[in-house]
Amino acid sequence: MLELTNKSLEALRKSLSKPKTSAQLCVLGIISGFVAALLIIFFRLLIIGVQALFLSDTDDFSQLPELHRLFIPVIGALLIFMFAALSRYKHYRLGVPFIIHRIKQNYGNIPFNSSLNQFFGGAIALISGFTVGREGPSVHIGAAGASFIGSKLHLPNNAMRTLAGCGVAAGISASFNTPLAAVIFVMEVVLREYKIHIFVPIILAAVTGAVTTQFVFGNTYELSLINVHPLPIWHYPYLILCGLTLGAIAYAFNQNLMYVIKVFKNISMFPRLLLAGTVMGLISFLVPQAMGSGMSAIGLSVISADNLQLLTTILIAKLLATLFILGLGIPGGIIGSVFGLGVIIGTLMSYFGSYMSPDINVVGTYAVIGMAGLFAATLHAPLAALVAVMEMTSSAHITVPAMIVITTAYVSALQFFGNRSIFLQQLDFQRLPYQVSPAIEALQKIGVMSEMDENFKLLYSDDKDQINETLNTVTSDTQNQTPLIVFDDDNGYRLAEYDLSLMSDNALPIHYIELQGISSQSTLADVFNILKDKRSSSVYIYNQLDNKQIMGLIRWDNIHHILTIRNSLV
């Protein structure tokens, strides 16, 4: 029975090493989405359950006494540091930027220690009222759950990479109940490519994440509180102006957030987190509505849409809190914060829009497009922003106004200010590589098991006569010559060949080529990195569960053929 299971798993691994859509990968995508959703359900229930001990309504900190609002963030920051110290986690490389790096450079393998700190650190931050989003921890946790499945099954790295994308999609989908926007976000921001064999499993994972969380939290959206009404065409010139303004705000937000990060980069973790708790406590003491995740601002905008002074105060307080909290390293997401800030900005922009159409309630429409424009320009995700607002409002009326604002905000931020995605700026600052060459990116999608030559002869001997005799046997067929791999303790694995350039009457001299081995979990990108300088030679593939079991051989000619002939297929 055990042998049958091992053979089935080996067949699964070999099937997944191919860059094509398969039922097996789709099933694994669904399983990854389900596991990610369960982790995020537990994450959200933990936050709700603990907040219920001191809040009557989740995320509503305005009911607390002033001193409680002052000290709760400080206590939360201390707890975050204590957990990081106990787990010996020194660097806050968490959330979406870190996941982008791990997928691009490490095939989506997520370290357990960082995932643990993201789960509990993010939960403590949200429980304590910090202005961070829950999607950052959700993305990290979702990717970690999918990575765990792949590592336990010892799947090839190209499949691990796809499963990590499935975990990210499930995480976002479970956070906002937006499966389509989650898929677009993964393709547009995380993977930054569209390939059908990757696309399908990620769709299934996103749907699974949304459906699973709906069983617990219901089929609800944060923007369901907002009423969206169609805008007359004469609003469109004003929407262009709104887009330009949002582009400038997005640039200023990104620049100031990176400025805070750089100013405090040399300060150790404890004083940084303590300062973050103190700043959040002081802001909360003065403006209680500034506490809570960014999504809490949506309810405030609906309730206080006519109070210009209050909304302006909340906007300034939340903006300052977000810049300092995220800049000082409190674990949490930026998307929720951007959503909240965008809704408030859009609500403020609706004041002039209301004068243009006094008989129409345009506040909700402007609030939503404000969120979409700021999201698109800050994160460089225009398509994800458009799909998100369409899903979260379930309204076709928002499509054209949102497209006008999103494109204007994105292009103006990029063209006039040279704005870059905040995620990429964070990655550059942390010196976490995320760019790979087109050749490497194509080869990362192909596992070595799908391309290795399994027709070889393995000889454990350094006896030249025996090697010569074996070579005579394997090269007797001039059409299909079988490679000969020899092994001895002094030289390791080598490829033995006749050197035809030194041919003599008596015998053909044997030429040895040193071989480097790589795991069967590897991709052709790993082979390329080994052979790229030589532009020749071969590597042998060993079983990842038993490095003494040689499974096959890959030559440089295989890599060259894929890059020059088959590149369009991957």
Do residues 367 and 504 share a domain? no
Do residues 330 and 478 share a domain? no
Q: How far, in Å, CA of 123 to CA of 238, rounded?
A: 40
**Three-class secondary structure of residue 495 per DSSP:** strand
Q: Quote the pLDDT of residue 303.
A: 75
* pLDDT bracket for residue 210 (50, 70, 90): very high
Q: Quote the pLDDT of residue 494.
A: 85
Q: How far, in Å, CA of 276 to CA of 421, rounded?
A: 24
What domain count does the chain have? Answer: 2
Q: What is the 3-state secondary structure (H, E, C) of 248-299?
A: HHHHHHHHHHHHHHHHCCCCCHHHHHHHHHHHHHHHHHHCHHHCCCCCHHHH
User: In the predicted model, is pLDDT for residue 569 greater than 50?
Assistant: no
Q: Tell me the mean pLDDT in the region 259-274.
A: 91
**Three-class secondary structure of residue 232 per DSSP:** coil
Q: Which two tokens stand for residue 98?
A: 């870190």
Q: Quote the pLDDT of residue 479.
A: 58
For 558, residues 6+ apart whose C-beta sits below 8 A from its C-beta are: 451, 453, 524
Do residues 198 and 133 share a domain? yes
Q: How far, in Å, CA of 326 to CA of 86, rounded?
A: 22
Do residues 397 and 463 share a domain? no
Q: What residue type is assigned to position 518 of the chain?
A: I
Q: How far, in Å, CA of 68 to CA of 516, rounded?
A: 62
End position of a domain, from candidates 410, 435, 460: 435
Rounded alpha-carbon distances, angstroms, from residue 89 to 81, 85, 268, 348, 433? 9, 6, 12, 42, 21
Q: Quote the pLDDT of residue 568.
A: 47
Do residues 358 and 491 share a domain? no
User: In the predicted model, is pLDDT for residue 55 greater than 80?
Assistant: yes
Please report, rounded to a whole number, the percentage of residues in the chain having pLDDT higher than 70: 93
Q: Quote the pLDDT of residue 348.
A: 92
The mean-pLDDT minimum among 31-35, 121-125, 302-306, 384-388 falls in: 302-306
| Top-confidence residue, 437 or 349 | 349
Do residues 153 and 107 share a domain? yes
Do residues 208 and 130 share a domain? yes
Do residues 58 and 207 share a domain? yes
Domain-located, residue 90: yes
Q: Quote the pLDDT of residue 3.
A: 56
User: In the predicted model, is pLDDT for residue 507 greater than 80?
Assistant: no
Q: Quote the pLDDT of residue 546.
A: 79
Do residues 293 and 223 share a domain? yes
Q: Quote the pLDDT of residue 502.
A: 54
Q: Which domain holds residue 42?
A: 2-435
Domain-located, residue 443: no
Q: Which two tokens stand for residue 532?
A: 């790229």
Q: Tell me the mean pLDDT in the region 104-129.
A: 90
Do residues 303 and 347 share a domain? yes
User: In the predicted model, is pLDDT for residue 570 greater than 50?
Assistant: no
| Top-confidence residue, 284 or 492 | 284
Supply the CATH number for residue 229's domain: 1.10.3080.10
Confirm if 190 and 180 have CB atoms less than 8 A apart: no
What is the dihedral sign for C-alpha 265, 271, 273, 277? negative
Q: Quote the pLDDT of residue 4.
A: 53
Do residues 355 and 480 share a domain? no
Report the DSSP beta bridge partners of residue 347: none
Domain-located, residue 441: no
- Which of 305-314, 376-385, 445-454, 470-479 has maximum average pLDDT? 376-385
Domain-located, residue 440: no
Do residues 225 and 149 share a domain? yes
Q: Which two tokens stand for residue 260?
A: 């805070």
**Three-class secondary structure of residue 444 per DSSP:** coil
End position of a domain, from candidates 435, 463, 486: 435
Q: Tell me the mean pLDDT in the region 501-525.
A: 76
Q: How far, in Å, CA of 295 to CA of 131, rounded?
A: 9
- Main-chain phi, psi angles of 218, to 5 degrees: 85, 165
Q: What is the mean pLDDT of the chain?
A: 87
Q: How far, in Å, CA of 421 to CA of 443, rounded?
A: 26
Q: Quote the pLDDT of residue 134.
A: 85
End position of a domain, from candidates 435, 464, 480: 435
* pLDDT bracket for residue 369 (50, 70, 90): very high
Domain-located, residue 146: yes
Q: How far, in Å, CA of 515 to CA of 507, rounded?
A: 25
* pLDDT bracket for residue 2 (50, 70, 90): low
Confirm if 334 and 422 have CB atoms less than 8 A apart: yes
Q: Which two tokens stand for residue 23?
A: 């039922």
The mean-pLDDT minimum among 140-154, 295-309, 543-557 falls in: 295-309
Q: Quote the pLDDT of residue 426.
A: 92
User: In the predicted model, is pLDDT for residue 296 greater than 80?
Assistant: no
User: In the predicted model, is pLDDT for residue 113 greater than 50?
Assistant: yes
Report the DSSP beta bridge partners of residue 488: 492
Confirm if 325 and 92 have CB atoms less than 8 A apart: no
Supply the CATH number for residue 517's domain: 3.10.580.10
Domain-located, residue 523: yes
pTM score of the predicted model = 0.89
